């Protein structure tokens, strides 16, 4: 088990934004995983069959960043460092442990002690007003997001807001030089001469929404939103941890499902300059690939 690499004050993470004033309240209850009714009977978790391949393909495209058919999918290529605030430290560390496990599942490197966070998770009291305040006062935290993309983040419903900032680099990781030139090789039909490097991911979660959720659930959800950069699905079906905060979900997944794990592995497999269409095909194949943790043909809940 790994401890959250860095737990820092909100003020340091977002350089004095309005979020800096959202310190954890005294006596904030930690997330509590629902328990059985006290009868002593074990909780039996059963798998459900994966949906058809066409439906999996449709869902992966629906949650992926839009308009990427002729570009690589954005992903972290440098090591990741987690910073968090807004809940009691033991809870943050438990969530961080799970985030670290998920990062390793994807094949990502973890930065060492004293690293500068590039995955920031904040638990706040009013996520809508906090994001609106960032737009007014600290717009730079949205990085390369376009005005329309920022409006989409602001107008999103539910207790979570998430976004990632990326930049275009050469396939070897070279950045644009001082003359504004990016030197790249000739592209092939299956890869591009450039890649999209995620520089930072930010996830804001309504503090009240985590009540009744376990650190494992929260960590897995945050991992999908920050490391995979996915959008919430427009479905309440339980094939993904992404429905965790959906009010229409009666029985959310207790951890990452087979769909989620396959998505992460598929996104980070292969060269970072692979075309998005090719990467999405890898993601679908990874989701359909059976592994030791899953019953054959079932998606764990």
DSSP string, 169-211: EETT-PPP-TTS--------SSB-SEEEEEEEEEEEEEGGGGT
pLDDT at 248: 80
Three-state DSSP class for residue 168: strand
pLDDT in tens, the chain (301 residues): 444 444 444 433 454 333 333 344 444 445 545 444 444 444 334 455 677 888 899 889 889 887 666 789 999 999 999 999 999 999 999 999 999 999 999 999 999 888 999 999 999 999 999 999 999 998 889 988 888 889 989 988 899 999 999 998 988 888 876 656 677 666 566 678 889 999 999 999 999 999 999 999 999 999 999 999 998 877 656 689 999 998 888 888 999 999 999 999 999 998 999 999 899 999 999 999 886 555 444 444 3
> Which is nearest to 161 in space by CA: 204, 209, 130?
204
User: For helices 276-288 and 53-63, what crossing angle results, to 10°?
Assistant: 130
Query: What pLDDT shows up at residue 293?
Result: 55
C-alpha pair distances (Å), 120 with each of 8, 64, 162, 199: 10, 20, 10, 11
Phi/psi at 206 (5° precision): -60, 125
Residues 101 and 33: their CA atoms lie apart, in Å, by: 19
Residue count of the chain, please give it: 301
Cα distances from 225 to residues 44, 177, 229, 242, in angstroms, run 28, 31, 5, 8
Q: What is the pTM of this model?
A: 0.82
pLDDT at 17: 34
Looking at beta carbons, which pairs linking 20-23 to residues 24 or more positions away fall under 8 Å?
22/85, 22/86, 22/122, 22/123, 22/124, 22/125, 22/130, 23/85, 23/86
What pLDDT does residue 290 have?
80
Radius of gyration for the chain, computed over Cα atoms and rounded to the nearest angstrom: 19
211 phi/psi in degrees, rounded to 5 = -60, 130
3-state SS class at 132: helix
Q: What is the Cα–Cα distance from 76 to 23, expressed in whole angstroms?
A: 29
Q: Phi/psi of residue 45, each to 5°?
A: -105, 120
């Amino acid at each position: 088990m790994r401890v959250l690499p860095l737990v820092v004050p909100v003020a340091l993470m977002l350089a004095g934004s309005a979020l800096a004033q959202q310190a954890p309240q005294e006596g904030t209850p930690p997330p509590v995983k629902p328990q059985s009714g006290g009868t002593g009977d074990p909780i039996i978790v059963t798998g459900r069959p994966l949906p058809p391949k066409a439906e999996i393909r449709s869902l992966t495209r629906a949650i992926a960043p839009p308009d990427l058919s002729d570009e690589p999918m954005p992903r972290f290529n440098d090591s990741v460092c987690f910073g968090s605030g807004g809940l009691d430290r033991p809870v943050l560390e438990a969530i961080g442990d799970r985030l670290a496990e998920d990062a390793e599942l994807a094949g990502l490197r973890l930065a060492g002690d004293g690293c500068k966070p590039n995955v920031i998770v904040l638990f706040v009291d009013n996520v809508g007003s906090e994001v609106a305040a960032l737009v007014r006062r600290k717009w730079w935290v949205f990085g390369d997001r376009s005005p329309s993309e920022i409006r989409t983040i602001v107008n999103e419903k539910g207790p979570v807001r998430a976004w990632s900032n990326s930049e275009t680099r050469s396939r070897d990781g070279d950045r644009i030089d001082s003359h504004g030139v990016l030197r790249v090789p000739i592209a092939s039909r299956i890869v591009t001469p450039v890649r999209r490097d995620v520089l930072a991911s930010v996830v804001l979660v309504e503090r009240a929404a985590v009540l009744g959720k376990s650190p494992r659930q929260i960590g897995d959800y945050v991992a999908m939103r920050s490391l995979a950069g996915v959008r919430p699905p427009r479905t309440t079906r339980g094939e993904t941890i992404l429905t965790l905060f959906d009010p229409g979900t009666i029985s959310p997944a207790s951890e990452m499902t087979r769909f989620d794990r396959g998505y992460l592995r598929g996104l980070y497999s292969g060269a970072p300059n692979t075309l998005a269409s090719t990467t999405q095909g890898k993601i679908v194949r990874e989701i359909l690939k059976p592994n030791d943790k899953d019953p054959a043909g079932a998606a764990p809940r």
